[in-house]
Amino acid sequence: MHDSDPAGVRRLRALPADAAPPRPDVRADVRLPIVGVAPAVPRHVAVIMDGNGRWAVARRLPRLAGHRAGAQAVRRCIQAAIQSGVEWLTLYAFSSENWRRPAEEVTDLTGLLRHYLRHELAELHREGVCLRVIGERERFDADMRAEFERAERLTVGNTRLKLMVALSYGGRSDILRASLRLAQAVQAGTVDPQLLDEAGFARFLSTDGIPDPDLLVRTSGEFRLSNFLLWQAAYAELVFLDVLWPDFGAAHFADALDRYARRDRRFGARPG
Ligand code: FPP
């Protein structure tokens, strides 16, 4: 069916019907191996913010106090990213699995997120932050979904820092949902599976248009990915910090960047 199409047109056909056209601010070579020393500052940093509960328990405080202190650390992290010249920051704020926590904690966490979106949005906008939510947003109530849309609409033109907040996010769910959308597109005849490559598949993920993370940081001394960005972090440098998230600040961000700068990124290749 696509035999007479130029290659570029074929690639475009491998997009979901409602996909935005390729964006000029997204590098086209996200999956190409670039051998050698990585640029000193990672373009995209992803963070698993862990340790709120332990921070609260250590102080004999309710877990909500830990999450509130965690929200303060989010502000410090965003500031540090801006100051360091990082372009993209993805924060794992609520996983698909977090719905399984006791109802009271889920209510506390979603309430805190709602409060954050309502009260910090103007400041984020002033700072030039463009906010985008990734994850299963339909699992949130209509009020919360309206907050997501309002935040995204207001900040869509900002370029100083692109901030992705992962909410009800799970890497496996992301890949599964992408596969379902792809299957639908194949069925509808808008994608030729013979022509699909990794970049074409990635267009169906919730991170479409976002470059893969260069650096993935996890706090609290745990060494797990916990279902975060499983596809996207394939070549991310991993840094595990021995600090509980509520204590995270500019010095920890700088430490992670410093460790990243000393890594030798080979993407599986070997210099000739
Ligand atoms: C992990 O700590 C953290 C979370 C499940 C939620 C992260 C939420 C925030 C940092 C606050 C709000 C976020 C934004 C974007 C405003 P944990 O409870 O699993 O800690 P533990 O492992 O010590 O129990």
Active site residue 50: yes
Q: How far apart are CA 27 and CA 210, in angstroms?
A: 9
Per-residue pLDDT of the chain (272 residues; tens, 9 = 90+): 333 333 333 333 333 434 443 333 334 344 444 455 556 899 999 999 999 999 999 999 999 999 999 999 999 999 999 999 999 999 999 999 999 999 999 999 999 999 999 999 999 999 999 999 999 999 999 999 999 999 999 999 999 999 999 999 999 999 999 999 999 999 999 999 999 999 999 999 999 999 999 999 999 999 999 999 999 999 999 999 999 999 999 999 999 999 999 998 877 787 66
- At residue 267, the pLDDT reads 79
Strand partners, 47: 91, 217
- At residue 270, the pLDDT reads 73
Ligand 1 mean position, distance from CA 270 (Å): 39
The answer, yes or no, to whether any atom of ligand 1 lies below 6 A from the CB of 56, is no
**Please, what are the domains in the chain?**
36-175+213-263 (3.40.1180.10)
- At residue 268, the pLDDT reads 79
Q: How far apart are CA 248 and CA 246, in angstroms?
A: 6
Closest CA to ligand 1's atom 24: 53
The answer, yes or no, to whether any atom of ligand 1 lies below 6 A from the CB of 171, is no
- At residue 166, the pLDDT reads 98
Helix axes 63-84, 250-261, angle to 10 degrees: 50
Q: How far apart are CA 271 and CA 265, in angstroms?
A: 11
- At residue 205, the pLDDT reads 98
The answer, yes or no, to whether any atom of ligand 1 lies below 6 A from the CB of 147, is no
Ligand 1 mean position, distance from CA 126 (Å): 25
Closest CA to ligand 1's atom 10: 70
Ligand 1 mean position, distance from CA 93 (Å): 6
- At residue 36, the pLDDT reads 53
- State CA 189 to chain mean position distance: 30
Nearest-atom number in ligand 1 for the CA of 66 is 18
Test site for ligand 1: of 49, 61, 164, most ligand atoms within 8 A of the Cβ: 49
Which backbone phi and psi does 23 adopt, to 5 degrees?
-95, 140
Closest CA to ligand 1's atom 12: 71
Ligand 1 mean position, distance from CA 261 (Å): 27
Active site residue 214: no
- At residue 266, the pLDDT reads 77
- At residue 272, the pLDDT reads 67
Q: How far apart are CA 177 and CA 180, in angstroms?
A: 5
- At residue 248, the pLDDT reads 98
